[in-house]
Chains A and B, each alone.
Chain A
Amino acid sequence: MGKTMDLSQYSLASTLGIPVKKLLSKLEIWDAHSHIGTDKDGHAIGPTAFLAQMKANHVQRAVAFPLNTPDDPNFTKSNDQIIQIAKKHKEIIPFFRLDPKKEWEKEFDRVLDQEFQGIKLHPLSQNFPLNDPEFRKICSRAQDAKLVLLIHLGFGVKNTADHIFRIATEFPKLRIILGHAGFVDVEEVIKAVGDFENVLFDTSGIRVFDICELFQHLDDRRIAFGSDVPYFTLDVAIYSLLDTALLMGKSQKAIKRIFHDNLVRWLT
């Protein structure tokens, strides 16, 4: 994408007389969902570019994990790259990726004593169903290791609500971030796990109308801002959430929770 535009001029908040840039510069923002690296589909972003985007958009810290890297079936190289970046840049909260269909236990054990704070799983890219026994084993190990589990629940994943309910019930101490808030089945997912304390809905890559749905039916403590960089742009993600929050009458306290506090509670 070319030169970054100043989205604040198009923001609803500015029309409501709210000094958007000032508000954003004061608001601490943590991003629950971003990628660094190269994907099989050609998308790519390096740490320098990502950190520059974070700085430009007043994002203090971001959960980051590898993309669906080509020629790295067990994510070994990509996980190493993420931890190296996180060691250099405190802004990055490192998560590692696994493929439940490969030798995931070997990779899990290898990275366990490193400083990863969570795991990212992608049922579509790694082609596994949510009732896969290996997936459940990963959930169990993540719970024991006190790692956060972020699972892609966006495009291409079906019948999510029942499976997530089972996982969140069976592993009550496992902290689960629902990537893209399960927007393909959002009403059912909210009904199933909306009041679970071990579940957070991340707002990455979702429609404004789905954000409304989350605000309408969920406690503010259950929602966390996410960007989905490099698939989504950080500024559009922030303004989509901020404008919708203002439109839905969310208080400054609630906005602070969503952009920052809820994720801080889970990660250090």
Chain B
Amino acid sequence: MKKLSSFDVLGLRVRNMLPMTKRRRERFLFYMRIYNHTVRASANFLNENTKRGVYFLQIIKELTEHTTDYIEEDLRKQIHEIVNKVLKDKNNINQLIKKQDFQGRINTQLLIIENLCVLRLMKLLVE
């Protein structure tokens, strides 16, 4: 039997605990995933582990590439643009990340994504 991913498990928990429609649950998990990968990317950049940081950003990039959920379109685009902006420098990140103020700049960009996700999650919880 295929092992469930942590997000699938979380999805089941959310379904059991919160009376959400399928669409809302999907949205909830979508932002949880992005939030989680953003936090991981950020932690890796802080530890100068740029390869892993870039890896998690690429996952977010893929996650936010397209959506069939038009309600989320604007937010998805904004997150996608921020990730693209950071990844634009991906070939130089190894050198740049050693400069602490550059590290701060990247993490500030990721912090915008974190806040967008948290705001959206809060709204989804009370909708």
Contacts and interface: CB of A to CB of B under 8 A. Distances in A.
Contact of A16 (B114, B115, B118, B126): B126
A210 to B, nearest CB: 10
Contacts of A205: 108, 111
B58 interface: no
Contacts of A43: 105
Interface in A212-240: 228, 231-233, 236, 239-240
What range describes how many residues of B lie at the interface?
20 to 34
B103 A156 contact: yes
Interface stretch (A3-11, A46-54, A130-138, A159-167): A3-11
B74 interface: yes
B101 A232 contact: no
What range describes how many residues of A lie at the interface?
20 to 34
Contact of B122 (A12, A125, A206): A12
B123 A12 contact: yes
Contacts of B108: 154-155, 205, 228, 231-232
Interface residues of chain B: helix, strand, loop or mixed (majority): helix
Nearest to B71: A9
Contacts of A124: 100-101, 104
B119 interface: yes
B74 A209 contact: no
Given A2-B77, A9-B74, A239-B119, A15 B126 contact: yes
A247 B122 contact: yes
Contacts of B62: none
Contacts of A209: 118
Contact of A231 (B109, B114, B120): B109
Interface of B: 74-75, 77-78, 81-82, 85, 100-105, 107-109, 111-112, 114-116, 118-120, 122-123, 126-127
Interface of A: 1-2, 5-6, 9-12, 15-16, 41, 43, 68, 124-125, 154-156, 205-209, 228, 231-233, 236, 239-240, 243, 247
